[in-house]
Structure 1
């Protein structure tokens, strides 16, 4: 998701041979909630719908001299997802027990480049990101390839992946004899500013 994005970008800078050698200074950054959005798409036999949250938060710590000790985390309040249907959103909060488990959280711990290069406007490519997704009080491994673009002092990233409701012990609600599909599609579009000390290091 987005924090893994920023982290991936910065790690990418370290492996580009034409760049300044990495220094040992710790680098930190935060997700820009005003420029980031996460959608989920749910399905039923007769229709599908999309819920959206713009309350994305997160941060990361990157240690250039020890990439294996870098960490990232992003969090989204479950109750902030809005599908445009109040009754459906209320039902979603009920089955996910949002009062008891208010956040969906991703913690990234492993980052590696798949494709990465420098173009006219900056760096871009894909990074393999692995970590743990916590949802409805359950935690499971999650791996995905994140698209990353770096232009000037701005990082943008996009990740799309599926989440199984049954895997996270979420009851699938029914309506008129139909049950909501087990798979929820996540589309995370994240952005943030690179910390000033990172820019100077570049």
Structure 2
């Protein structure tokens, strides 16, 4: 009698565990739509500000059932366009674009929830690593994430890095270097992958 009761309880436990696993939500994967997304840098100089924009070459975000968000985004350094070819050539030289062609960010955030109604906005802080000019630095990126529908998300953020920390020789104009601080603005449109 004891053995049959134990066997029945074990069967019920295993069945309940299997049902719970089947009901658990799956991770959601989103791809960055490059044509609708951008990375923009801003540099200050005593005489003027410099603004350059590039499209990300690739980007993915993965939202796990526990609310962990994993993000990876890349862009080509040579793709940044300020509207001035001479200035862009100087920036590519300063950042050694042929030697270090990629800028890349990989990061994590927690507590992200897929909403039940749309649009829905969440503040998220991505903590990760930025690779630029062959140097890896820890960065935190505050983001505004808007679930515009069940399948589409927009994410915008701003953060600042130090050119000196990334070992970039700061460009100069009329014997005056640009400021060390480089502001980065991200605007991403993401679509859930099928």
Q: TM-score, normalised by structure 2?
A: 0.80
Query: How far apart are 1:56 and its partner, in Å?
Result: 4.1
Residues 1-202 of structure 1 mapped to structure 2, 5 A cutoff: 23=24, 25-64=26-65, 71-108=70-107, 110-113=108-111, 121-152=118-149, 153-196=151-194
Change (3 A) 1:46 1:111: same
Q: Give 3-state SS (helix, strand or coil) of 1:166's partner.
A: coil
Q: Look up the match of 1:5.
A: none
C-alpha contact (below 8 Å) 2:33/2:191 kept by paired residues: yes
Change (3 A) 1:63 1:125: closer
Change (3 A) 1:60 1:120: closer
C-alpha contact (below 8 Å) 1:117/1:125 kept by paired residues: no
Change (3 A) 1:179 1:64: same
Residues matched between the structures, number: 172
Change (3 A) 1:164 1:150: same
Query: How far apart are 1:144 and its partner, in Å?
Result: 2.1
Q: Distance in 2 between matches of 1:167 and 1:60?
A: 27
Q: TM-score, normalised by structure 1?
A: 0.77
Gaps of 5+ in 2: 1-21
Gaps of 5+ in 1: 1-20, 197-202
